[in-house]
A and B are shown apart, each in its own frame.
Chain A
């Protein structure tokens, strides 16, 4: 399991890995003709992470406006919860300075959209987010909290 949060560093690779191994690997459309990366929330998040990784930037102003709105696939909450938990592990808890264009926030928004069809206004704090998530989707909140407590690395 990656550390819950360290202010000094962010492991975007772990985030990309969680998306790939927890969600894409379990997707019925993986390597199938029906796979449409341009319409897929997870493919979008993975591409954004692939874009920023070599650049060493965390924030792309305006990127949150590019999240696709045409992904109608059904996602498994347990799979998404694992990746969602990874976004929280990587979150730097910027509080007032939270930016929706931060690639970690972008990934989390994609996962929320994929699962619930709506975004949760992120308060810049993992604890406050979990409280907010619990109000809106208690089951998902419990899954994410369990992942944070006992989560495994994507390859496990």
Chain B
């Protein structure tokens, strides 16, 4: 496993820094700003995967990495690993369109899976509603909140390619725990079946979606309806 640390054309290096699915505290931002000033970082750039890249001279990279880690942040893992997770702000407190707690789920997925080794970089995106601001159908493993604490899951998508591919829906309205179990299964099958450096989507094209599908019990929709729907039924006086 490598780290997000790359030489640029101008000889400087970038350090790819990950927060909690793009979420950082004011203290972390202030700490980064102080490090940027102290170490002469000439530019900071936000990435499509909700990370922050810092441009730095090679001789100061180690000091910058130490500063980053002292803030509770880390340099993103890179090269044939599960990459930092993208998640929208979907939650009960933030986006009014959210149908579920996408941000917390994304953070939990990132905590558990980021850095795990796989045949080719594996991207996870979590969206709080079907609008899909995080483009879940363009991810190797896309999750879309479907009401209550249930989620739809698509696999095999990717966008960064001359031949992009949309993910295929494999689970509807599964409970939160099942998302983790499905991901465990997909990763296990991916490691077992894919050729070296083969994207999951290409492996799906080559072997068929069935080769990656989890057992039926993991794909069973949640039996409990959306709590808001239950509340509405009670409000209407309708039978549950």
Contacts and interface: CB of A to CB of B under 8 A. Distances in A.
Interface of A: 38, 44, 47-48, 51, 55-63, 66, 94, 97, 99
Given A66-B238, A97-B130, A97-B131, A58 B233 contact: no
A99 B130 contact: yes
Nearest to A56: B96
Interface stretch (B178-186, B203-211, B224-232): B224-232
Nearest to B231: A51
A63 B131 CA distance: 19
Given A57-B96, A59-B97, A48 B130 contact: no
A63 B130 contact: no
29 contacts: A38-B237, A47-B235, A47-B236, A48-B232, A51-B232, A51-B236, A55-B228, A56-B96, A57-B96, A58-B96, A59-B97, A59-B99, A59-B129, A60-B226, A61-B146, A61-B147, A61-B148, A61-B226, A62-B147, A62-B225, A62-B226, A62-B229, A63-B229, A63-B232, A66-B233, A66-B236, A94-B131, A97-B131, A99-B130
A57 B228 contact: yes
A47 B238 CA distance: 12
Contacts of B147: 61-62
Contacts of A47: 235-236
Contacts of A58: 96-97
A51 B131 CA distance: 24
A97 B146 CA distance: 13
- Would you list the 5 A-B pairs with minimal beta carbon distance, nearest first? A61-B147, A62-B229, A61-B226, A51-B235, A97-B131
Contacts of B228: 55, 57, 60-61
A68 B237 CA distance: 12
Given A44-B236, A60-B226, 17 more contacts: A38-B237, A47-B235, A48-B232, A48-B236, A51-B231, A51-B232, A51-B236, A55-B228, A58-B96, A59-B129, A60-B232, A61-B99, A61-B226, A61-B228, A62-B226, A66-B236, A94-B131
A63 B225 CA distance: 11
Contacts of B232: 48, 51, 60, 63, 66
A48 B225 CA distance: 17
A1 B136 CA distance: 39
Interface string B2-37: 000000000000000000000000000000000000
B205 to A, nearest CB: 25
A79 to B, nearest CB: 23
Interface string B164-198: 00000000000000000000000000000000000
Contacts of A44: 236
Nearest to A65: B229
A61 B99 CA distance: 8
Nearest to B226: A61
A128 B142 CA distance: 31
A15 to B, nearest CB: 17
Contacts of A63: 229, 232
